[in-house]
Chains A and B, each alone.
Chain A
Amino acid sequence: MVNPVSTSTSTIAGVPIDIIGVSQGFRTASGAALPVLADVHLSVAAGEFVALVGPSGSGKSTLLRLLAGLDRPLFGDIYVDGEEVTGPDPRRGLVFQDPTLLPWRTVRDNVALGPEATGTLEQSAGAIDAVLGLVGLSDFADALPAQLSGGMAQRAALARVLVNKPRVVLFDEPLGKLDALTRRALQRELRDLWQRERFTAVMVTHDVDEAILLADRIVVFTPRPARITEIVPIDLAHPRDYGDPRVIALRRHILGRLDSE
């Protein structure tokens, strides 16, 4: 659970993202070229929450890996805060569908991975405690990942990213493997967290309801090779309700759009 923090700041920590004409392709096992992203243009404002939806295998995760700097695009450029992305950076955090916690490290040591890798472990002790409290894992700091439930593990993965004070957080179906109840709880926590920290968020999801609940804009992709087919703004105040007629209308519209592709 996300604890209310009294020193909440509404200043935007996020930075803008510009994706300019990005194309990406792979080689299949049989040797054929497989185009995955075709000329994608997208700009995300500082502190904005953008959800990417589209048919599975359409290249949304590929785009996220490019944003993280884990892969380089074949064509096009990606700028984060006006700087070209050339490799991974701790200020751009990535949360996967699997928590991918290192099983031999305790929750605290997993969260400490970033500070340890950048040689700032000593001055980060307080920050580590703070994010563990933020995601409600203070009592599980010394637990091993195998002892955590799915939701707790995903919270730990989130804390591991947040401790680096990211300007951008990239979510690759972060709640995709959780049960429905845990997912609903974590959606609310994620929303509160984003509203407080105000990082720029880009989330790949297959859950249209989740996208509507969280995002400022929803980017709808075509099947592979992925192009942007529509960008749907969600101009609803938080907290949003699944039963709201406007939410229902948006859901119908987006699902219709996905089905027609």
Chain B
Amino acid sequence: MTDVIEAPSTRRAAASDGSTVLDRIEAAVARLHAPRELHAGPGIGALAVWAAAALMTIAVPDTSRYVVEGTRFIAVITVALPVAYAATWAYGRSGLPRSERVLGSLGGGTPWVIASGAWYLIWEWTTAKTGALVPPYFTPPQQLFAELWKDRVLLSQSFGNSLLLLAIGFTVGAVAGLITGLAMGWSRQATYWLHPVIQYIGPVPALAWVPIVFVVFPTAYAGAVFLIALSVWFPVAVLTRAGIRGVPRSYYDVAQTLGASNRFLIWRISLPAALPSIFTGLFMALSAAFVTLTVAENFGVNSGLGWYINWKKGWSAYPAMYAAIILMVVFCGGLLSILLAVRNRVLSWQKDLTRW
């Protein structure tokens, strides 16, 4: 039947320049998916901003209104940055392997390069160079690096202590939350006993438990672990249960007709199906854990980044405090990024991943 009526050939639809419809579709698709390229305007703009930053840092003398250390260090950075940028740009235009990708990511990052350069210019000018902003509440950018370097031993110890305490508390809380959530998702009995407890204990902020916890627990450290675990346990348990309750019954029907045992249903059906919800719980838990960590460090544990920040504030050592806050930003943001990366890897089967 199909032989009788001849389908219109794509060759016959060839345009005057000899390209067929298929050629033109291919070219259009390639255009749509071409990597972002770096235009000359933004590229030169980025170089100009950072060249100005380098020039100002080196040529303009520091004011005496501020304690300014580390100018030489930051001068090296402000020179190295535009040089590295120019080198990357040159490589991107060279046509060497992967140069197209390099150029694409450079083009994507250029607005941030320009914005951060402008931010640095204003910051450096109003503090280190003119002192227009009033000390001691403001600090020149190079002073932050200087403070980090001067107190590097205590700061790295604090960083390590915070990381260890968070890791222990988070792990204990996440495992407990997962078990509680699984139990509640699977057993009526577990829901009967655990749900009221979760509903009333879970939402209480960690700060409210501080007076009891540090009396009841043998050491402040054990108390801090408990507090962090408690704040992690609640969201993980609730969202694990919700995730398991949301698994379509047909998944279980299918698996059962294929010969699956209850064990198989829990570990191979329930748990993977509930993972998107569990990861949402873990994200909420991580944010809650940061809050509790900072609280716990200041009430009893007396070490870690949160404690360091408050300690420096007590001495009105603002530059050191700011430096520690920046370290805290790296700490929290870094851990969140790691959790994100793990989730994107584990849930790569999900078509529309929410990217934060």
Contact = CB atoms under 8 A, between A and B. Distances in A.
Interface of A: 65, 68-70, 88-90, 92-94, 96, 98, 100, 102-105, 113-114, 116-118, 144, 146, 160-161, 164
Given A70-B256, A88-B257, A117-B255, 16 more contacts: A68-B253, A69-B257, A70-B257, A88-B258, A90-B258, A93-B258, A96-B250, A102-B269, A104-B272, A104-B347, A104-B349, A113-B260, A114-B258, A114-B259, A117-B260, A146-B351
B2 to A, nearest CB: 14
A102 B272 contact: yes
Contacts of B256: 70, 88
B250 A117 contact: no
A211 to B, nearest CB: 23
Interface string B238-262: 0000000000101101111111110
Interface string B314-356: 0000000000000000000000000000000001011100000
B119 interface: no
Contacts of A92: 257
A164 B256 CA distance: 13
A121 to B, nearest CB: 12
A144 to B, nearest CB: 5
B349 A94 contact: no
Contacts of A161: 258
Given A94-B253, A100-B251, A102-B272, A160 B258 contact: yes
B346 to A, nearest CB: 9
A149 to B, nearest CB: 15
A102 B258 contact: no
B93 interface: no
Given A70-B257, A88-B259, A90-B258, A102 B250 contact: no
Nearest to B352: A146
Contact of A118 (B254, B259, B347): B259
29 contacts: A65-B253, A70-B253, A70-B257, A88-B256, A88-B259, A89-B259, A90-B258, A92-B257, A94-B253, A96-B250, A100-B250, A100-B251, A100-B254, A102-B269, A102-B272, A103-B349, A104-B272, A104-B273, A104-B275, A104-B347, A104-B349, A113-B255, A116-B264, A117-B258, A117-B259, A117-B261, A118-B259, A146-B349, A146-B351
B272 A90 contact: no
A146 B264 CA distance: 23
Contacts of A94: 253-254, 257
B257 A102 contact: no
A113 B268 CA distance: 9
A54 to B, nearest CB: 21
A184 to B, nearest CB: 14
A90 B259 CA distance: 5
A98 B250 contact: yes
A188 B139 CA distance: 78
A100 B257 contact: no
B258 A113 contact: yes
Contacts of B250: 96, 98, 100
Contacts of A98: 250
Among A96, A113, A164, find the residue whose CB has the most chain B CB atoms closer than 10 A. Answer: A113
Contacts of B264: 116-117
Contacts of B251: 100, 102
A68 B272 CA distance: 25
B120 to A, nearest CB: 45
Given A102-B251, A102-B272, A116-B268, A93 B257 contact: yes
B165 to A, nearest CB: 34
A104 B350 CA distance: 7
